[in-house]
A and B are shown apart, each in its own frame.
Chain A
Amino acid sequence: MATIISTNPGKNYEPIGEMTASSHDEVRQKVMLAQKAKDDWRRLGVAKRVSFMRNVYSVFKKHESEISDIITKEVGTPITECRGEITWDWGYFEWFLDHAEESLALKITGKDNISVHTVHFEPTGVAAVITPWNLPFDLFLWGVVPNLLAGNTVVHKASEECIITGKLLADIMEETGLPKGVFSAVHGAGDVGEYLVNQNIDLIWFTGSTEVGKKLYRIAADKFIKAILELGGSNPAIIFDDADIDGLIENIIFKRYGYGGQACDADKRLIVQKSMYDEVVEKLSARIKKIKPGVPDDPSTELGPLVSKKQLELLENQVDDAIKQGATMIQGQPVTKDLRGAYYPATILTNIMPSMRVWKEEVFGPVLSVVSFDTEEEAIQMANDTVYGLGSQVFTKDMKKAARIAREIQAGNVDVNGVGHFRPYNPFGGYKSSGMGREHGTFGFQELCQIKVISQNA
C-alpha cells in the first residue's frame, strides 16, 4: 500500500508525518456508505441539515489554531496569513448556513386558473469532492459545506500535498456527529482521486489544475454525470493612465504576492498603459523589496515558501524560459541562507513576449509579468490572449470605459478599481479553460442540485 510522506516546504522538506493511501476497498466502501446515507439525508430537508451543519461549524471553530498550525507546517503558508484566511472562512461558512434555505427554497414558476407549477432543488446524490492544497481549509469548506447543506452526501479527498491537513479535517468531521456515511474522507494522490470518481458517484466537485479538471470532465462524460470544476487562471489586470496609481499598488501586491502567489485567482499578468508603465513598474519594484520573506511559523513573515520542490522547479523553469527569451527580472529581498526549502523571491518580469511560458501558462508563485499597451483595444486583446478566464481587474476612473472592458474580458469575474469579488453571495467561476459551473451565492447552491418541476391542479 502506498505511503505518502508529508514534508515541510519551509524547513528544508523535513518530514512532518505520513499517511497510508486509501485502498480501493476502502474507497468503494466509503462510496457505498455515502450511497446508503443519501436518501435519509435528502429527506431531512434543508432546515434540519442546517442545524446539523451549525454544529459542524462550532466543532470546527474549536479547532481553529490546530488547523492553522498544521497548514503552516505542511503547505508553508505564513502563520499570520493562514490565521487571516481562516477568520475570513468563517464568514463563508456563516453565509452558507444563513442562506441555504432561501437559496434552495421552492419557487413558483407559473400559475393559471387550472394549474400551479413549482421548482424544487433536489440533491444530486453522492458528491466526490476533491480539493487542492493552496488554501486547504478554505477550499475544503467551499466544497464540503454547500454540498452537505444542499443534501448531497460527500466523499472527500484532499490533495496529497496537504494530506495531513486533510486527515485532521476528516478527524474533526468525525466529532461532529453527522449521520454515518453523510461525510467520509479518503486519502491519497491523484490515483486515489481517479479511482474515487470512477465509483458509483453522482457528482464531481473539483478545485485544482486545468489539466486534471479536463480529465475529470471526460470521466464525468463517460459516466454521464455532472462536474463542477474550478480550475486554473492567468488573471489579467489592466491599468489605464487615469487610474489612481497609489491606491492600486497595494491591491496588486496583495493579488499577486498573497499566499506566495499560489492562488488560482491571483493577478498573473499586469497590462499597463504606456504613459504610466514606467511609474507602475518603479513603484511595484520598490514595494516588493519591502515584502518580508521568512519561515512560515514566524508571525512577521509575509512571503513563505512554495508548497513543494516540484512547484519550485516548475516556477524556476518558467522564469528561465522568460529570461532566455529576453525578459528582464527585478527581484525583492533575496532568499537568505537560513531559508531552506521551496523559497522563491518576490519577482517582477518585464520585456515579456507572448511566446514566453510566463505569459501562456499559469504562474503559481510570486512572479508578476508586466506588459504595456497603447489603446483600449490592444489591452483587451492582451487580456484575452490566454486559454484561461477566471478573474480579472480593471483600473480606470472612466466608468464608461470600465464597463466596456468588463463586458469584453472573457472571464467569470471582473474587479473594477480594486474591489475584491470574493464575497459569499457572489457566484465564482471561470470562462474558457478555467472551469465549468459556479460556486457560492444562490447559483452555487443550485448548481449542486437537480431541478424538479412539479405541476398540479390549482
Chain B
Amino acid sequence: MAILISYNPANGEKVGESVVSTPEDIQKAVEKAHAALNAWKDTSFSDRAAIVRKFRKLLVENQEKLSQLITKEMGKPISESREEIEWELEFIDWYCDNVERVLGEKVLREDEKTIYKTVWEPYGVCASIAPWNFPVTMASTGITAQLLAGNTVIFKPSEYTTLSQKLFVDLFNQAGLPEGVLQCIVGDSTVGAALVDSDIDLLWFTGSTKVGQFLYKKCAEKFIPCMLELGGSSPGIVFADCDLEKTVDTVVNARFFNAGQVCNALKRLYVEKSIFDVFVKKLTERVQKVKLGPMVSEKQLNALAGQVEDAKKKGAQILLGGNVPDGKGYFYPPTILTDVTRSMRVMSEETFGPVLPVMPFESEEEAIRLANNTVYGLSGLVFTKDAARANRVARSLKAGGISVNMVLAYKPFAPMGGYKLSGLGREYGDEGFQDLAQLKYICEAK
C-alpha cells in the first residue's frame, strides 16, 4: 500500500498521511460515479443547491479547523487561510443563486405553432484535478459548480494539500450528497493520469501548462471536452500618468500575495521610462516591508531559485532579495530584478514565487509588444489615468482577464480563463457554468 505523506513547508515536519488510490480504487470510483449519474441528473437545481447550502454551513462551522490544516500543509499565513474560506462562501452563494438561471430551461422563441427552447445537461462523470495554491477555492471550483450542473465528480487533490482537500470533500459528503456523486481519489500525477484514462466524460483541471497540454491530448484521444486553467506570466504596464502611490500598492499586492504562488499574479512589470527610477525606488521601499510564508515545497523553491540564478548570470541587477536564506523551511525573500531581458527565464517562463522583474518602455506600442511576448495569456494589468489609453491597451493585450488601475478582481460573476497556452474554457460566471454542461435544443409543436 503506497502512502502519501504531507509535510509542513515551514519546518519540514510531518502533518499526516493518506493512502494512495490503486487502479482498482479508481475503477470502482468511476463505476460508482456512473451508477449515481442518472438520479443526480434528475435531481432539480433547487434540491442540488439545498445540499450545497448545507455544505456551506458545515464549511463555516469547520472554518478554523480547515484553516489550521491548510496553513500547516501548504504554509500560507493563517489569516490568509481563513480569508480564503471567507472568500469562497461568496462564490458558493453565487453558484447556488444562479445555477438555475444559467442552466435552466430557456425559451428562445415562441410563435403560434411552436416553442423553441434550450436546456443545459450534464456531461456525466467529471474528473476534477486541483492544485495546491488555494486549497479550498480550487477544490470548490473543481467540485461545486460541476455538482450543481448535474455532473458526478471524482476529485483528486494536489499531492501537496491532500489532507486539506480531502477534508473539504468529507464536509461535502456530510451534507448529504447521494452515494457516488462526489468521491475523492488520492495520489500524485500518475494517479491523475490514470483517472483521466478511465471512463470519464469531462475533465476539469487547474495546474501547470505542461500538464494541461498533456491532458488535452489525452482528452482528444477519448473525444471528450476539457476545461483547463493553466499557467500565466501576466504583465503589468505602468504609464507615467498613473497614480504612483496607489499603483505601487497594487503592484505589490498583485505580485506578492500568497507568496507569489498565484496563476494570474503579476509576473512581469513594464514601467514607462520617464518614471522608471522613481517608481522602482518606491516599489523597493514598499516591498521591503512585505512578510511572506514559505514556498509550498522544496521543488518549487529550487525552481524559483534556479530562475533567479539564471537572470543573475545573464546580467540582471538584484535590487532586493535574490538568495535562499539559511534556516528551516522553504522560504524565499521578496525579490526585485532590473536590467532584465527576454532571454532570461524570469521573463520567458512562469515564476511561481515572490520575484518581480521590472523593465522600462518608451511607447505604448512597445509596452504592448513586450507584454504580449509570452506563450501565456491569463491576465494583464494596466495603470494610467487616461481612460482611452487604458481601453486601447486592455483590448490589445492577449489575455483573458484585464484589470485597469486595480488587481484582477476575482468575482463569481466574472468568467476567468486564458488565451494562448494559459488554458481552454472559462470558469465562474455564466460561461463557467455553461462550459460544464452540454447544450440541448428542443423544439415543440403546440
List the count of A-B residue pairs having beta carbons below 8 Å apart. 145
Q: A453-B414, A456-B403 are in contact. Are A214 and B223 (CB under 8 A)?
A: yes
Nearest-CB residue, chain A, relative to B381: A455
- Chain B hits for A457, CB < 8 A: 404-406
B217 and A222 contact, CB distance less than 8 A: yes
Nearest-CB residue, chain B, relative to A409: B440
**Quick one: CB contact mask for A445-458 with B, threshold 8 Å, 1 for yes?**
00000111111110
- When chains A and B are docked, how far (Å) is the Cα of A24 from the Cα of B289? 58
Q: Which stretch in A318-326, A327-335, A341-349, A426-434 binds the other chain?
A: A426-434
B220 and A454 contact, CB distance less than 8 A: no
Nearest-CB residue, chain A, relative to B407: A455
Q: At the interface, yes or no: B276 with Cβ under 8 Å from chain A?
A: no
**Quick one: CB contact mask for A398-438 with B, threshold 8 Å, 1 for yes?**
01001000110001111111111101011111010100101
- Chain A hits for B444, CB < 8 A: 399, 402, 406, 416-417, 419
Q: At the interface, yes or no: A16 with Cβ under 8 Å from chain B?
A: no
Q: At the interface, yes or no: B72 with Cβ under 8 Å from chain A?
A: no
Nearest-CB residue, chain B, relative to A39: B396
**Quick one: CB contact mask for B402-428 with A, threshold 8 Å, 1 for yes?**
111110110101111101010010100
- When chains A and B are docked, how far (Å) is the Cα of A38 from the Cα of B246? 36
- Chain B hits for A426, CB < 8 A: 108, 116, 118, 441, 443
A423 and B415 contact, CB distance less than 8 A: no
Q: Could you tell me the distance in whole angstroms from the C-beta of B442 to the nearest C-beta in chain A?
A: 5
Which of A423, A433, A452, A454 lies in contact with B223, CB distance below 8 A? A433
Chain B contributes a number of interface residues (CB within 8 A of A) equal to 51
Which of B119, B390, B394, B406 lies in contact with A407, CB distance below 8 A? B119
A218 and B221 contact, CB distance less than 8 A: yes
- When chains A and B are docked, how far (Å) is the Cα of A239 from the Cα of B445? 15
Please provide the chain A residues from 73 to 103 with a CB less than 8 Å away from any CB of chain B in the complex: none
B406 and A117 contact, CB distance less than 8 A: no
Which of B394, B426, B430, B443 lies in contact with A454, CB distance below 8 A? B394
- When chains A and B are docked, how far (Å) is the Cα of A323 from the Cα of B439? 37
- When chains A and B are docked, how far (Å) is the Cα of A436 from the Cα of B408? 31
B445 and A452 contact, CB distance less than 8 A: no
- Chain A hits for B399, CB < 8 A: 452
A425 and B108 contact, CB distance less than 8 A: yes
Q: Could you tell me the distance in whole angstroms from the C-beta of A202 to the nearest C-beta in chain B?
A: 9
**Quick one: CB contact mask for B191-230 with A, threshold 8 Å, 1 for yes?**
0000000000000000000000100110111010100000
Q: Could you tell me the distance in whole angstroms from the C-beta of B68 to the nearest C-beta in chain A?
A: 32
- When chains A and B are docked, how far (Å) is the Cα of A406 from the Cα of B408? 41
- When chains A and B are docked, how far (Å) is the Cα of A221 from the Cα of B215? 9
- Chain B hits for A220, CB < 8 A: 220
- Chain A hits for B401, CB < 8 A: 452-455
A453 and B416 contact, CB distance less than 8 A: yes
B440 and A412 contact, CB distance less than 8 A: yes
Counting chain B CB atoms within 10 Å of each CB, the highest count among A220, A421, A426 belongs to A426
Q: At the interface, yes or no: A224 with Cβ under 8 Å from chain B?
A: yes
- Chain B hits for A431, CB < 8 A: 438, 440
Nearest-CB residue, chain B, relative to A43: B395
- Chain A hits for B213, CB < 8 A: 221, 224
- Chain A hits for B430, CB < 8 A: 109
A419 and B406 contact, CB distance less than 8 A: no
Q: A416-B442, A418-B445, A425-B109 are in contact. Are A109 and B429 (CB under 8 A)?
A: yes
Q: At the interface, yes or no: B321 with Cβ under 8 Å from chain A?
A: no
Q: At the interface, yes or no: B100 with Cβ under 8 Å from chain A?
A: no
Counting chain B CB atoms within 10 Å of each CB, the highest count among A218, A412, A413, A455 belongs to A455
Q: Could you tell me the distance in whole angstroms from the C-beta of A220 to the nearest C-beta in chain B?
A: 7
B220 and A218 contact, CB distance less than 8 A: yes
Nearest-CB residue, chain B, relative to A231: B223
- When chains A and B are docked, how far (Å) is the Cα of A358 from the Cα of B17? 54
- Chain A hits for B121, CB < 8 A: 407
B217 and A221 contact, CB distance less than 8 A: yes
Q: At the interface, yes or no: B114 with Cβ under 8 Å from chain A?
A: yes
Q: Could you tell me the distance in whole angstroms from the C-beta of A19 to the nearest C-beta in chain B?
A: 31
B400 and A420 contact, CB distance less than 8 A: no
Q: Could you tell me the distance in whole angstroms from the C-beta of B203 to the nearest C-beta in chain A?
A: 12
B414 and A117 contact, CB distance less than 8 A: yes
- Chain B hits for A418, CB < 8 A: 445
Which of A110, A221, A421, A454 lies in contact with B411, CB distance below 8 A? A110
Q: At the interface, yes or no: B31 with Cβ under 8 Å from chain A?
A: no
Q: Could you tell me the distance in whole angstroms from the C-beta of A240 to the nearest C-beta in chain B?
A: 14
- Chain A hits for B80, CB < 8 A: none
- When chains A and B are docked, how far (Å) is the Cα of A411 from the Cα of B414? 29
- Chain B hits for A441, CB < 8 A: 108
Q: Could you tell me the distance in whole angstroms from the C-beta of A102 to the nearest C-beta in chain B?
A: 14
Enumerate the 9 nearest inter-chain pairs by beta-carbon distance, A residue then B residue, closest first: A221-B220, A456-B404, A417-B445, A416-B444, A110-B413, A419-B443, A218-B220, A221-B216, A221-B217
Beyond the given A414-B440, A425-B108, A453-B401, please list 10 additional residue pairs across the A-B interface where CB-CB is below 8 A: A119-B414, A214-B223, A406-B444, A417-B444, A421-B443, A426-B441, A436-B223, A451-B415, A452-B394, A455-B404
| Sampled A-B contacts (6; CB under 8 Å) | A110-B413, A214-B220, A416-B442, A421-B443, A443-B439, A452-B399
A residues contacting B by CB (< 8 A) are 109-110, 115, 117, 119-120, 122, 214, 217-218, 220-222, 224, 226, 399, 402, 406-407, 411-421, 423, 425-429, 431, 433, 436, 438, 441, 443, 450-457
